[in-house]
């Protein structure tokens, strides 16, 4: 064998060994998924009965990402979660979500904040009002603005807590897929008065700006859900978010309005693929 061929063979062997090492690293990697219902996936695919009231789906984006990348998933996302449920107090008999983050974690995703500002709660409340029902619960705009102003500090505290527990972990912040169209009228699936649709459109934009600024400030990755969800709102034919009166998915106790569809979850997982490839 000539020296040139020997060197070429050695390079090939090293390349293969490096690739195998990367695969082994991924297979042993711990992925902790934290967040609220937009991460858990209630009403999507098969219900993970072990998740109790958290309503996790067996095909939410975290499950898909973990399966594609050979990661050891610890999914602690939970419907109704706020930043406080990540940092301090658990739900449905589970501990605070941050407790799942250990030094072994190599990837941590965070989707939180919507419930802190009553994002989905106001979608329900304003839709309730538009349908002429009584006792509709709506958080006023001044209170939403106050909560939005407090959200950056809460997100910073979560990122800092993750870094303290898992210094080597890659952190991905995930935004909320939009339910309301970027512009124009609403639709039958989105029971909102025009003024309320404008209000929720602006709330979605404000929430997205908070996530953008947090990702830049803390130097972490971001799934720009507002961007990938544009044109796939509750009024779209290829919707990533359900409308007010979706059909119930078999295996789930109730239909889940104003939440990600399977297509929405799959699109978020696809964006993870792009981010993790960088």
> Does the pLDDT at position 5 exceed 70?
no
Query: How far apart (Å, rounded) are the C-alpha atoms in residues 9 and 234?
Result: 55
Q: For the purposes of burial, counting CB atoms within 10 Å of the CB of 174, is it exposed (0-12), middle (13-18) or buried (19 or more)?
A: buried
Asked if residues 169 and 108 have their Cβ atoms less than 8 Å apart, the reply is: yes
Residue range 209-222: average pLDDT?
A: 98
Q: Residue 16's pLDDT is what?
A: 34
Render pLDDT for 99-128 as a digit per residue (tens, 0 to 9). Answer: 999 999 999 999 999 999 999 999 999 999
Largest CA-CA distance found in the chain, in angstroms, rounded: 86
pLDDT for residue 17 is more than 90: no
For the ranges 5-9, 63-67, 247-251, 255-259, the lowest mean pLDDT is seen at: 5-9
Residue with the two structure tokens 């990600």: 260
Q: Which residue has the tokens 């008065």?
A: 193
Q: Give the position of tokens 């527990």.
A: 165
Closest by Cα among 243, 239, 237 to 229:
239
Classified as helix, coil or strand, 260 is: strand
Q: In what order do the strands lie in the sheet with 105-111?
A: 72-75, 30-35, 105-111, 170-174, 221-223
pLDDT at 4: 47
Would you give the DSSP letter of residue 103? T
**Mean pLDDT value across residues 124-151:** 97
Task: Give the whole-angstrom CA distance, residue 220 versus residue 264.
Answer: 22
pLDDT band at 15 (very low <50, low <70, confident <90, very high): very low
Instruction: Please report which confidence band the pLDDT of residue 20 belongs to, taking 50, 70 and 90 as the band edges.
Output: very low
Looking at CATH, the fold of the domain delimited by 21-276 is given as Rossmann fold (3.40.50)
Burial bucket for residue 180 (CB in 10 Å: 0-12, 13-18, 19+): buried
pLDDT exceeds cutoff 60 at 164 = yes
Mean pLDDT for the stretch of residues 96-101: 98
> Are 220 and 212 within 8 A, CB to CB?
no
Q: What is the pLDDT of residue 172?
A: 98
Token pair 């512009």: residue: 183
**203, containing H or E segment:** helix 194-218
25 pLDDT band (50/70/90 cuts)?
very low
pLDDT above 70 covers a percentage of the chain that reads 90
Q: Please, what's the b/e burial string for 115-129 (b: 16 or more CB within 10 A of its CB; e: otherwise)?
A: bbbbbbbbbbbbbbb
* Per-residue pLDDT at 3: 44
| pLDDT at residue 185 in the model | 72
What single-letter DSSP state applies at residue 232? -
Q: Where are the beta strands (DSSP E) in 216-256?
A: 221-223
State the Cα–Cα distance between residues 148 and 141, nearest whole angstrom: 10
Q: How far is CA 100 from the centre of its chain?
A: 17
Choice among 26-35, 130-139, 161-170, 266-275 with the minimum mean pLDDT: 26-35
pLDDT beyond 70 at 13: no
Around Cβ 10, how many Cβ atoms within 10 Å?
10
Asked if the model's pLDDT at residue 19 lies above 70, the reply is no
Query: In this structure, what DSSP letter does residue 166 have?
Result: -
Tokens matching residue 255? 């239909």
Cα–Cα–Cα angle for 21, 22, 25, rounded to 5 degrees: 85
Q: Tell me the pLDDT of the chain averaged across its residues.
A: 91
> Mind listing the pLDDT tens digit for each residue in 27-48?
449 999 999 999 999 999 999 9
pLDDT band at 10 (very low <50, low <70, confident <90, very high): very low
The mean pLDDT value for 61-83 works out to 98
């Amino acid at each position: 064998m000539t020296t040139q061929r020997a060197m070429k063979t050695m390079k090939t062997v090293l390349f293969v060994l490096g690739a195998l090492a990367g695969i082994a690293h991924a297979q042993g990697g711990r992925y902790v998924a934290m967040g609220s219902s937009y991460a858990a996936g209630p009403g999507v695919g098969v219900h993970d009965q072990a998740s109790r009231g958290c309503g996790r789906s067996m095909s939410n984006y975290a499950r898909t990402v973990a399966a594609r990348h050979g990661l050891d998933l610890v999914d602690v996302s939970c419907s109704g979660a706020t930043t406080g449920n990540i940092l301090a107090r658990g739900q449905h008999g589970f501990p605070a979500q941050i407790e799942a983050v250990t030094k072994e974690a190599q990837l941590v995703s965070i989707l939180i904040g919507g419930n802190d500002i009553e994002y989905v709660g106001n979608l329900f409340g304003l839709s309730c009002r538009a349908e002429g029902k009584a006792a509709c619960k709506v958080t006023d705009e001044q209170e939403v603005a106050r909560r939005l102003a407090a959200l950056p500090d809460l997100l910073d505290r979560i990122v800092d807590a993750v870094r303290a527990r898992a210094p080597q972990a890659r952190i991905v912040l995930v935004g909320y897929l939009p339910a309301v169209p970027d512009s124009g009228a609403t639709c039958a699936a989105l029971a909102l008065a025009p003024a309320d649709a404008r209000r929720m459109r602006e709330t979605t934009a404000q929430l997205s700006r908070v996530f953008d600024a947090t990702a830049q400030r803390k130097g972490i990755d971001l799934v720009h859900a507002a961007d990938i969800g544009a044109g796939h709102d509750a009024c779209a034919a290829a919707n990533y978010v359900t409308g007010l009166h979706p059909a119930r998915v078999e295996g789930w106790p109730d239909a889940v309005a104003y939440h990600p569809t399977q297509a929405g979850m799959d699109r978020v997982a696809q964006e993870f693929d792009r981010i993790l490839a960088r």
